[in-house]
Amino acid sequence: MTLAACAALVERGDPDRFLAVMAAPVHLRPQLLPLYAFNLEVARAPWVTEEPLIAEMRLQWWRDVVENAASGAARAHEVAGPLHDLIRDFGLPIAVLDRLIAARRWDIHREPHDSAEALNTYLEDTGAGLMWLAARALGAPDTAEAPLRAYGWAAAAAGYLRAVPALQARGRVPLPDGITPLDLARDGLARLATARAGRRVVPKAVAPALLAGWQAEPILRQVGDGTDAALGLSEFQRRGRLIWQAFTGRW
């Protein structure tokens, strides 16, 4: 139940977010690492077993963790314990945490998203929800939720597009009928513009939470440009862009 355990999990399983946390001020890392470790545990729960029932049970366990945290009953677990403290100390919204977990049920099964709206909801409950939770842990007011969620959705769309080949290799159908990667990328860029239009209501102190989306715009633009190469930035571009965003606070 230590911060070090959460950091080790994120470093191994979500290296991009780990880099984002390392670019944040040291005193803010205890608010971000347990949340990102929780997200990692939930995201990988459907993939660590071939048995849908077991995967469902893993997700339900996390839903119980969140519900118990609301009642003050912490779990003795390397991530659940610190998450409980985070919920208690910073008032993280239980409903948002629960929807993040529930959305991952789609990852258990092989059916495609029913519609563009279903995919939109999946990205809203996972990526946008996580961005809002991270910002909330850093003191974001309710008035900043809309632009922060828009930014999180755009970052989630970029990550989802990068994951399309891996999902297809596992027999999944990532995009619903009638939706192309270009459609999703354009939607992501539009939401990014919406987020930036609302920047004035987002306190500067919250900017470290947004470091997790530092690669979103260039990846979405790669799709828009029709690149056939694997999506992503070179190591130099990745680190340079992260350092720039951390230094300037601009997103």
Longest dimension (CA), the chain: 50
**For the residues 132-140, what does the mean pLDDT come to?**
98
DSSP string covering 107-150, please?
Answer: GGS-PPPSSHHHHHHHHIIIIIHHHHHHHHHTT--GGGHHHHHH
For range 193-210, the mean pLDDT: 97
74-93 pLDDT tens trace: 666 889 999 999 999 999 99
The predicted pLDDT at position 75 comes to 65
Task: Answer whether residue 230 shows pLDDT above 80.
Answer: no
pTM of the model: 0.94
pLDDT at 110: 83
For 64, counting Cβ atoms within 10 Å of its Cβ (0-12 exposed, 13-18 middle, 19+ buried), the class is middle
Residue 228 confidence (pLDDT):
55
Q: Which of 131, 147, 122 is nearest to 32 (CA)?
A: 131
Q: What is the mean pLDDT of residues 135-147?
A: 97
Please list the helix, strand and coil fractions of the chain in percent, rounded to the nearest 5, in that order.
75, 0, 25
Q: How far is CA 1 from the centre of its chain?
A: 22
Q: In the prediction, which pLDDT does 78 show?
A: 87
